[in-house]
Structure 1
Amino acid sequence: MSEVFQGFSGQAFSLRSEKGRFTLPPAFRNAVKLSTVDRKLCLTKHDKWDCLVGFGMNRVEDFETILDREEEAAYKFGRDFDRDTRAMQLHSFETMPFDDSGRFIMPDFVKDLGKIEDALFFQGAGKFFTVWNPAKLYEMGPEMAMPKAACRALEKEALAKGKKK
């Protein structure tokens, strides 16, 4: 019986290597593999927060449904909605291959969009996950208490491992 994509959940942390690569942690790597055809990670800017959104190529199939839902909500509440602009935002993602160990190189312009420096914090969110510069996550409000606590613990652990090398 083959595995089926169940979504992204949990948290993980990655430090940038000396070669400038980050590592997609195992739980996220396996979920991306199940939600894409060619082992490519998709990253784009989150539309509200200073972080990135990650997913596999299969998520693109949901974009029309997302657009329909957002357009309907805008109409219902009397808000403006530019479907073309929102469609362009959804489809403006960058794909990057990752190896069997999950290592990938993030393009500079993607790092700039997410304000990424030397570390990544991954937070599962169902059909996608967020990728944070820990410093940007720590600036968020109390609604992010759990991700911030997980990030602090995982960051401390990763830095301790890094010092042992």
Structure 2
Amino acid sequence: MDAKGRAAIPAALRSTLEVNGAASRVVIALHDRSPCLVGFDPALLSSRATKLTAQADLRTNAGEEVDFNRARLSIGLTETASYDASGRFVLPAFFAMKAKIEKGAALFMGSNEYFEIWNLDVLDADPDVAPQIKEYARFRRAEWSAK
């Protein structure tokens, strides 16, 4: 991330967004279990909202309680950012703060329907991250430092 708060989505991840019709937009959210951010295309946000509404309706019809915080966190606590032709976008300040992503390197990693954005130190310290991923992050850090 640069001094202006801009990060760049790697080309491979960007092409996936574009194939899904993102039109140079990415949704940024907090990961629901890990201390990182997630990025995904706006269509996935719409799909998630539809699924959560259906699940809430099922629970209501069954006389069960609905966890409205789940929707607030996964749908409401998101921000959509536009990116340029080289993938640069301004990482929303609240999300950067929550993931401890500051000026310097951030690791983008694809993960199923979304990609993750990590502070390298946070990733390295997380006991739930696989050793191979930590090794990859250390390799990338060394590679970036050599430039």
Contact 1:55 1:128 survives alignment (8 Å): yes
- SS, match of residue 109 in structure 1: helix
Normalising by structure 2, we get a TM-score of: 0.81
> Which of 120, 123, 145 is 2:106 aligned to?
120
Match for residue 71 of structure 2?
A: 87
CA distance in 1, matches of 2:111, 2:55: 18
Sequence identity percentage: 29
Structure 2, unaligned stretches of length 5 or more?
59-64
Q: 1:90 Cα shift?
A: 1.2
CA distance in 1, matches of 2:4, 2:128: 35
Root-mean-square deviation (CA), in Å? 2.5
Structure 1, unaligned stretches of length 5 or more?
1-15, 73-79
Match for residue 105 of structure 1?
A: 90
- SS, match of residue 32 in structure 1: helix
CA distance in 1, matches of 2:113, 2:52: 12
Contact 1:35 1:59 survives alignment (8 Å): no
**Over 6 Å off, 4+ runs:** 69-72
CA distance in 1, matches of 2:98, 2:40: 16
Normalising by structure 1, we get a TM-score of: 0.73
Q: 1:17 Cα shift?
A: 3.0
Q: How many aligned positions are there?
A: 140
The answer to whether 1:54 aligns with 2:54 is no
